[in-house]
């Protein structure tokens, strides 16, 4: 299974990515997690990414694309992978196509978790209280949702055009959403 996971911030991508990766025995690769680990470890990559993340903006494509290309080249992706948080704009989607073409493989599914904007805003504000992520403040959440609507939402049509789009409603209990995702992808 080679798949990307799409959906707005707060839709539950990270939570579901872990569960789906267990189900299909493939690594879940979260660009947000990789960036955060680099910020924490004070690496050069983290230093370059941090200001964009804290503003709710996308980290520049040349940084993100190179990071994903390196990650996909690691040995554990042989049986597949689930990309969480990448691609996030059409240029990244085109770059991913070229990475996969270079590897001689194709994407099996673009799995979109849908959720309305009021629901995801409420979830992110709640998470802010619990986890204290630097980009979970109200103005930054607003910016992230704006970036999603402008840059990332067009990917739905892009992957629909490719015939690989699977859309699943992200509302409901975590287990319910996982079951829905598994059923939708496995019966596609
Ligand atoms: P969320 O989906 O909840 O906004 P993520 O953990 O996926 O959170 O991403 C956090 C931040 O990391 C983003 O706001 C952005 O700054 C950066 N980031 C993650 N993935 C990408 C990407 N594909 N391209 C550019 N920036 C990214």
HEC secondary structure over 109-163: EEEEEECCHHHHHHHHHHHHHHHCCCCCCHHHHHHHHHHHHHHHCHHHHHHHHHC
Where along the chain do its domains lie?
2-186
Instruction: State pLDDT tens for residues 152-170.
Output: 999 999 999 999 999 999 9
**CB-based burial of residue 102 (10 Å sphere; 0-12 exposed, 13-18 middle, 19+ buried)?**
exposed
Task: Tell me the two tokens of residue 80.
Answer: 């597949």
pLDDT at res. 184: 97
> Going edge to edge, which strands form the sheet with 28-30?
28-30, 81-84, 2-6, 109-114, 165-169
Q: Does domain 2-186 have CATH number 3.40.50.2300?
A: no
Q: Rounded to the nearest whole angstrom, what is the distance from the C-alpha of residue 136 to the centroid of ligand 1?
A: 12
Residue with tokens 């990071």: 67
- Choose, from 23, 48, 127, 180, the residue flagged as catalytic: 127
Q: Is the full-model pTM beyond 0.75?
A: yes
Q: Tell me, what's the pLDDT at 140?
A: 93
Is the pLDDT at 75 greater than 90, yes or no? yes
Which residues are within 8 A (CB) of 154 and not within 5 positions of it... i.e. 6 or more apart? 89, 90
Distance in Å, CA 112 to ligand 1 centroid:
16
- 127 catalytically annotated: yes
Mean pLDDT of 160-187: 97
Which of helix, strand or coil describes residue 84?
strand
Q: Which tokens in the block code for residue 140?
A: 């930054």
Q: Express as a percent the part of the chain with pLDDT over 90.
A: 91
Task: Give the residue, by CA position, lying nearest to ligand 1 atom 18.
Answer: 32
| Residue 175 confidence (pLDDT) above 90 | yes
| pLDDT per residue as tens digits for the range 86-136 | 999 999 999 999 999 999 999 999 999 999 989 999 999 998 889 888 898
């Amino acid at each position: 299974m080679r798949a990307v996971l799409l959906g707005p911030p707060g839709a539950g991508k990270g939570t579901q990515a872990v569960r789906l990766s267990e189900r299909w025995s493939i690594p879940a690769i979260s660009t947000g997690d990789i960036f955060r680990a680099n910020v924490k470890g004070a690496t050069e990559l983290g230093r370059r990414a941090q200001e964009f993340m804290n503003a709710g903006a996308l980290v520049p494509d040349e940084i993100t694309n190179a990071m994903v290309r390196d990650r996909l080249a690691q040995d554990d992706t042989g049986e597949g992978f689930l990309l969480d948080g990448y691609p996030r704009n059409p240029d990244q989607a085109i770059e991913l196509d070229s990475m996969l073409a270079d590897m001689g493989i194709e994407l099996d599914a673009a799995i979109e978790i849908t959720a309305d904007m009021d629901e995801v805003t409420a979830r992110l504000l709640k998470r802010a209280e619990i986890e204290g992520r630097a980009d979970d403040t109200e103005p930054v959440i607003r910016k992230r949702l704006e970036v999603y609507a402008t840059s990332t939402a067009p990917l739905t049509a892009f992957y629909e055009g490719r015939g690989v789009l699977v859309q699943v409603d992200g509302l409901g209990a975590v287990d319910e959403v996982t079951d829905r995702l598994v059923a939708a992808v496995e019966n596609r």
